[in-house]
Structure 1
C-alpha cells in the first residue's frame, strides 16, 4: 500500500474507507487494520473517515437459520394438536372459591375461566428428519418447507407438574381458531409470518403450499356451515379464510354455541436444561435431557386427560414387565413387551430407543451368557434411564458391574 492511497475494507454490512499516510504493509489482515486504525486515531493523521467502526465478524442470514441456537432457544408457546382438557378447575362466585369438573361447566362459567385472548403466529421449519423446529424468525430461506400456524385463542394459562410434582411448564387451555399453512419456498426473504405477503409470494410463484382451518372447541351448526375446505394458497383463498375466521369468531358468545376447552399450546420449563446438564452431572447425557423434554412436552399436552392418564399407568406396568424380562435375559419376550408399551403410550420414557437397541443387538443378545448384556445395561443406565423407577435403576447398576 503506497502513501496517500485510499484503503478500503468492506464487509457484508458496512464499509470503511480511510485516506491515510502509512508505510507499505505486507500480508495485510483484519487484525493489522484494527491496529493501524487505532494508531491513526492517536496520531491524528486521518484526513477523513467514513463509518469509523472497528470490524468484527458478522453472521449471515443463512448462518442464523442453520446455526441451531435459534431453535434451541425458542421461548414462545408452541402449538400442539388440540386435546380436550379433562380436569377440575377453580372458579369464584359470590366471593367464594369452588372447584368443578370442566366438562360440567356452563357456557358462562367457561367464558369466565377463559379470560385471556391472543393471536399467536408460530413458524416451524421442517427438518431433514421430518420434525418441526420452531423459530422466531419470520423470513424464509430458499428451498425450505415450513408449517405456519396462526391461532386466535380465548384461553387460560395453567402451570403443569409431572407425577413427581416437579414443575415442567405451562399449557394454554381454551377454544379458538387455527389457520395452518404448509409452505415450500422457492426463494429466500419471503415474510412467511404475514398472510398478505404469503398471498403475494404465491401469486408470483415464489411459494407454494396448502392452507386449512381448524375450529378448536367451538361447536354449533352455524360454525360447521361456515368452515371452508382446505385449498391451495392464493390471495383469494386467504381472503375467504380470513372472512370465515372473523364470522366464526363472532359466534363464540352465541347462546347456541357449546364450548369445549382444549390444550392448544404448550411451553416447556426453559430452565430445566440449565439446572440439569452433562457438565453439572456426569450421569446425565444429552440424550437423557432430550428425552426428558420430549416426555415433558407430552405431559403438558395430555397430562390432564383422564383417559390418556389411564393409558400412562398401563404403559408403566408394561415397562416394568419388560425390564423384568430384560433382567432375565429373555430378549424376544422383552422386545415384545417393550413394543406393547410403546403401542399403548407412544413416546413413553425411552422405550422407543430401547426397542431399537435391542433389535439391533438381538443376535448378540440371544446368548444369555454374552458380555453384551452388561454393555446393554450400562448403556441404558447412562443414556436411557430418564423416569425409570429407583428399583430398575439399582438393578441396572447391579447388572452392569
Structure 2
C-alpha cells in the first residue's frame, strides 16, 4: 500500500470498529443504518470515491477502492458497499455521458446524493436483454414506464440510472440508459424487501409510471444501454469480490479465535487435525480470492480488458466466502447458529454474494466464453 491507501484503509478500519461493530445486531433489527451514520459516510467523501477530481470527486483507483471495501467487510460488508453502489451509477455517466451530464451527476453525488442502478426487473435478471421497461420519445422528452426490482439503495437514492428499451423489437440493441431523478412525478419506491441476508443493504422495487424526463437525460445513445450495463458490471465485479474477501477474512478470524477458546476432550479444539484442515482451507481460499481480486483491479486501473478476470474474481470470492461462512458455523457448532454470534449472520449474508452482480453461474459462462474466444481454433 502507498501512504494514501494506508490512510484510507486505517480510516475505514477505525470508523467501522468504532461506529458500526458495536451496533450491527441493533441496526439489522431496525432494518438499516441510522441517518447520522449514512451522513458520516457522505462527510468522508464516500459518495464520490471514484468520481474524477475535476468533477469534485476523490478519483480513487479501483485497487484503492477495493482495499476500502475489503477492510470495511471485515466488520460489516454493506456499509461501504452502499456507497460503492452510488459510485457504480457514476461510472456509467463518466464512461458514456456528455460533459454536461458528468458535471450534473457528479454534482448530485458531491452534494451527498445517493444513487441506484436500475437494471433488474421481475422478468429480467440474468437475461438483462429481456428488460421490458420502456422509454418512448415524445418531442423533447422521454416517457418511462416499467418496474424494477431488487434495486440496492432504492429507498435512499436521490437519482437512478435506469436501463429501458426504446424499441422492444430490437432486444438488447434497443436498450438505453437514462438519468431519472427521484423527485420526478411518477417515480415510486416500494417497501424494503425482507431478505435472508445482507439485511442492512436496502433493497426495494422502483416503479416508473409515465415519468417524463428531458432528452438530455439519455446517457449515450438509444442503442448503447446494454453495452453501458455490461461495462459497469464488469468494472464493479472486482469490487463486489473485494467485499467478499473481507467477509471471508472475518469468518476466518471468528473461527480461529473460537477454536483457541473452545476446550473439548481436555484441549482447545484448534489442536485437532480436523479443525486445522478446515482453518487451512479457509485461509487458502481467501488468499487465492484476494489475489484474483487485485489482479482484476490492476487490469482495470491499467485500462486493460478484464471481463474474464473480473468474473473469476467475483465468482471465486463469493464461493470462497460462502464456504468459509459455512465452515465457521461448523467449527463453532451450536454457537455458530445463534444470532448473538456473527458466524450466523455471515452464513446468511454469504449466499447473497453468489447471486448479486450476475450469478456465479453467469460468471462461469463469461469465463468460459472468453477462454474459447482467446483460444479459438
TM-score (norm 2): 0.24
Structure number with higher helix proportion:
2
Higher relative contact order (CA 8 A, sep 6+): 2
